[in-house]
Amino acid sequence: MTGESTAPAPRRRGRPSRTQSEQGPAMREVILDAAREQFSERGYEKASVRSIAKAAGVDSALVHHYFGTKEQVFAAAIEVAFAPALAAPTAVAEGSLDDVGERLTRFILGVWENPKTRTPLLAIVRSAVNNETAATVFRRLISTQLLARIAERLDLPDAELRAELAAAQLVGTAMLRYVIQVEPLASADVEQIVARVAPVVQGHLTGP
């Protein structure tokens, strides 16, 4: 437990000392990094508050103190991992609705093209596909923080369904290009994909 030195005060179960609370933000980050690693390596089911605490070099009680249950640690961890994608509503809002399809398509493909943002995304998708609880946490996140916010900008009937069907085209494209890697899609130029996918996304979002 190499990180032990970063949690110096004597601890009692379930009651972090004042010293620990004072170094809150840094410690929270350390635990969150460990959590992301654990969920990513072991999957939602096999990761535990205990294994996360061990990886962070702290007591399990401290993990509970900052985050609560395993489900809540997971929610916090995927919010961080998903942060780049959560900027999508901003990309949608910045500019006219006339080319929102292209802006959103470029934005999402950009997140997937970059290995640094792709790897944590992939870990979330894996957890969500494998475990009901993880899927529920993920659903809540993308519904409230992504799809509802995009829908909000549209100001059209069925805005949420529109946002979801647009997302479906983008999610499916990402699955086949980056996860399953079918050819020629996996090797196609990004611009070629944008040219074909952006009009579809635009149609879902603002079409008749």
| Residues near a second copy (CB under 8 A) | 43, 125-126, 128-130, 135, 138-139, 142-143, 147, 160-161, 164-165, 167-173, 175-177, 179-185, 188, 192-193, 196-197, 199-200, 203-204
Phi-psi region of 14 (alpha: psi -120 to 50; beta: other; left: phi over 0): left
Length reported for the chain: 208
- State which residue, 114 or 192, has the beta carbon closest to a second copy: 192
Q: How far is CA 181 from CA 53, 176, 188, in A?
A: 35, 5, 11
Cα dihedral: 10, 12, 14, 19 (round 10)? -30
Q: Pick between residue 65 and residue 204 the one whose CB is nearest to a second copy.
A: 204
Q: Give me the amino acid identity at 103.
A: R
Question: Minimum distance between the CB of residue 113 and a second copy, rounded to whole angstroms?
Answer: 16
Least Å distance, CB 169 to a second copy, is 5
Query: What minimum distance in Å lies between the beta carbon of 151 and a second copy?
Result: 10
Nearer to a second copy, 26 or 129 (CB): 129
* Residue with Cβ nearer a second copy (87 or 161): 161
The C-alpha atoms of residue 124 and residue 121 are separated, in whole angstroms, by: 5
End-to-end C-alpha distance for the chain, whole angstroms: 59
Residue 168 Cβ, how far from a second copy at the closest point, in Å? 3
Measured distance CA(82)–CA(3) in Å, rounded:
26
**Least distance to a second copy from the beta carbon of 66, Å?**
27
Residue 3 or 203: the one with the smaller Cβ distance to a second copy is 203
Structure tokens at 180: 């399953």
